[in-house]
Amino acid sequence: MYLDINGLITQQDGDGGDKLQREGFWFTGAYFNKSYPLVPGLASYSTALEILTDANGNLERDEILYTAVADPNDVSRDQLIPNVIACGLYGYEDRVQRIFDNVISNFSRYTNNDVAFLTDYARFFRAFHLWFLYPLIFFLDIWLFWSSIFLVIRSYFDPNNLYVGDDLNFIADLAQTKHSYPSPFTFAARKIFKWLRKGGPMYGMQVYFNPVTGANPEFISLWAPIVEDF
């Protein structure tokens, strides 16, 4: 696996623009696939979070690109989704709270003004372990169900693999919803994606983490048994 000088995940060419997403996505997978061997030199998730925190206390995309305060416009919904999930799994609810507060104070938008949808709130509620909101979570899961149908249909109209990256965070969502307060809608979303996604449920990840492009194929081997269990 390609790592920077601090043990955080990067590309072969040193590009760390998606480092924040990679850390959250990796450690979400590591939580569910505990049999996967440790990666030599990889920093722990708690260390990664500390390193990727700017001087204002917010998460940033790349600790090497920014030396003090990151531009919040660079921290997108896609970068934060797997970290909301991972922080909830590992008990870093203060981190989830910080992201949630920023979304609420920005009128249901992430720091770069990406809109927080209904599925985002279900993700937050699960990360906070708010079991008493299950009736609301159950309702919000309808949108995850429709998202699965949308991604499956789009996969048949994406010959150039322009949208395969969307599979990553969606798979993380499916793993979270299988583990935390599952519902009939999340069950159906997993099965639809697993059975009907063009090329199979791992296709997007196989394209996105193709080693020929300088990516890290370790993500594929980490997540394959998790997705197979969908």
Give residue 42's pLDDT band: very low, low, confident or very high (50, 70, 90).
very high
pLDDT higher than 70, residue 70: no
Give the mean pLDDT of 105-117.
Answer: 96
pLDDT value at position 72? 67
166-198 pLDDT, tens digit each: 999 999 999 999 999 999 999 999 999 999 999
Distance between alpha carbon 130 and the CA centroid of its chain, in Å? 20
Q: What pTM was computed for the model?
A: 0.96
Residues 177 and 171: their CA atoms lie apart, in Å, by: 10
Q: Structural domain boundaries of the chain?
A: 19-228
Going by C-beta distance under 8 Å and a sequence separation of 6 or more, which residues neighbour residue 37?
none
Q: What's the whole-number average pLDDT of the chain?
A: 96
pLDDT of residue 71: 73
Name the CA radius of gyration of the chain, rounded.
17
Q: Is the pLDDT of residue 66 over 90?
A: no
Cα–Cα–Cα angle for 87, 104, 80, nearest 5°? 35
Q: Residues 6 or more apart from 210 whose CB is under 8 A from it?
A: 217
Answer whether 88's CB lies under 8 Å from 129's CB. yes
